Amino acid sequence: MMNIFFERDTTEIIKLLVNHPVTVNLIKASYSYACCYALPKDTLEIWLDLNDVKSSAEKITYKGKTASISNYLTKFKINTSSIPGSVESVNEYNNKVDTLTKKGLAALSTFNESKLLPEWFVKQEQIDIQYSGAGDKISQFSQSFMWYNKFKPRTKNIIDQVNIKVDNPEAKFSESYYEFLCKICPEQYDTLLAPQNSTSEIFYNFIKENLKTAQSNLHSEIKDVFMAQRICSYISIRAISDALTFGDSAYFRRVDSLITYAKTNLTDTVILNVLLSYHKDQFRNANSSGSLKPGTKAPDFKLTDITGKIKSLSDYKGQFVVINFWATWCSPCIKSIPEKNKLYQEYYNKRIVFLNVCIDPDKIKWSELIKENNFQGIHLICSGDWGDLIQKSYYINAIPHYTLIDKNGEIIMNRIAGIEELQDLIKKQL
C-alpha cells in the first residue's frame, strides 16, 4: 500500500516504481480521499474534483485497466476493521467483526453483479476481507491495552476460534493475511508492542516470534515470503540512522543475526537475494541520508498556533525548546498530558519553551482536547504538507515523539524515549 498526498489543484504525472499490483491512497491533508489500484507498466488516469458541494461519487473518475477496481475501492468497499469498545466483551466484539465481514463480502458481491471486476481480484479481495476480520479478533487484546490501558487476557485456542487457514498459498498477495500471521505470537506482546512500551529490542524479539510462527505453521511458498518480510521490517532507514546516531551497536548485532538466520533458513534463492539486496540498500541510503544527530541544525517549520498566527521554530532561538509531536487520534499522547503539564509547570519560567506540535490537521478536535485537558505550552498544528514534511525531517515513526533543542537552534537529542529521559536531559542543560 502506498500514500500520495495532495492539497491544491494541479495536473501531475506520478510514476510509481512497483513490480507488483498495489493499492494507492490519495490523501488530502491527512484524510483518505480515494483509493486506486495500480499495475506495473500501466497507466491509470484519475480526475479529482475538490468541490465539497459534490458527493463522493461525483468527485472522482478513473480511466484505465484498473478503473473498475479503483471505483470499487473508492466508492463501494466497506471498511471491515473496528476498534473494540472500552466495555465490549470478547464475544460481543467478535460478533461485530463477523457482521462487518459479511457486509464487506456482500458489498463486493453486489458491486460485481455486472462482472465488472477481474475474477482474480474478486478472489483476492474475498481473502483479504476474511483475514482482516480474523486479524481484528486477535488484535482486540492489544487494542484494548493501547486505547484504554486495559489488559484483556487472550482466550484459549484463539487461532482455532477465528476459524481460518494459517498456511494458505492462495493468500500470498493479501496484506491482511501477513498482518494476521504477525499476530500469532505470545500474549505478552499485546502490551509490549504498545507505543509506550516498545523498544528496538522488544521489536526484535517479536520478529523472532514471527519467524517461529513461520517455522511451525507454514509449509508452502508463503513461508519464505513471510520470513523475509518480517526480517525486512526490522531493517529500516530510520532505525539504522538512529543506531548510527546514538552508537547502538546492539541494533547492528541483531540485524546481523537476522541476516544469518535468513541465509540459513530461506530456501528460495530469489527471495533471499532480494532480502540481501534490500539490506545493503537500506544501509547505503541511511548512511547517505543523514539524520538529526546532536549538534545538527533543527529543521525549521511554519505552523499555525491556537490564535491562527503563523509561528516558526526559529522564532524561539535563544531559548531551549522542547517539542512534543503528537496527534488528536493518539491515545498515549493524550494520556501523558498530565505528565507534560507537570514538566511544563516545573521548567516554563527557566527560559524553556514547550511546543506541542499536532501532526494531524483536525483543528476542531485539536482545540477541544487542549481545553478539556488544560494542555500547557504553545500549541501548533500542521496543515497541508507540513504533517508529512515534519514526520520525515524529524524521523518520526511513533508518537508521542520528543525533541530537545538548544539556544542556538541545534539538536540536543531527537527521539527521546519518554518524559523521564526528557527531564534528565533538561536538568543537565540548566
- Residue 29, pLDDT score: 46
Angle at 251 between CA 250 and CA 256, to 5 degrees: 95
Q: What total number of domains does the chain contain?
A: 2
> Is 336 a domain residue?
yes
> Is 154 a domain residue?
no
Residue ending a domain, among 76, 108, 140, is: 76
pLDDT per residue as tens digits for the range 368-395: 999 999 999 999 999 877 888 898 888 8
Place of cell 518480510: 229
52: confidence class by pLDDT, cuts 50, 70, 90: low
Mean pLDDT of 241-267: 89
> Is 310 a domain residue?
yes
- Residue 159, pLDDT score: 86
Which residue, 13, 43, 42, 7, is CA-closest to 26? 7
Residue ending a domain, among 14, 48, 76, is: 76
CATH number at residue 398: 3.40.30.10
> Is 188 a domain residue?
no
> Is 229 a domain residue?
no
Provide the domain limits for residue 332. 302-429
Q: Which amino acid is at 55?
A: S
| C-alpha cell of residue 320 | 531551549
Q: Is the pLDDT of residue 264 over 50?
A: yes
- Residue 9, pLDDT score: 56
Place of cell 524515549: 417
Which residue, 302, 386, 318, is CA-closest to 352? 318
Q: Is the pLDDT of residue 17 over 90?
A: no
**Average per-residue pLDDT for the chain:** 87
Q: Is the pLDDT of residue 232 over 90?
A: yes
| CB < 8 Å & 24+ apart, contacts of 2-9 | 3/27, 5/29, 5/385, 5/388, 6/33, 6/48, 7/384, 7/385, 9/50
7: confidence class by pLDDT, cuts 50, 70, 90: low
> Is 407 a domain residue?
yes
Question: Radius of gyration (Cα) for the chain, nearest Å?
Answer: 23
Distance in angstroms (rounded) separating the CA atoms of residues 389 and 399: 15
Distance in angstroms (rounded) separating the CA atoms of residues 238 and 244: 10
- Residue 349, pLDDT score: 79
Percent above pLDDT 90 for the chain: 53
320-326/352-358 β-pairing: parallel
**Exposure string (b/e) for 198-229, b if CB count within 10 Å is 16 or more?**
eeeeebbbbbbebbebbeebbeeebbbbbbbb
> Is 272 a domain residue?
no
Residue ending a domain, among 17, 52, 76, is: 76
Which residue, 392, 23, 132, is CA-closest to 236? 392
> Is 178 a domain residue?
no
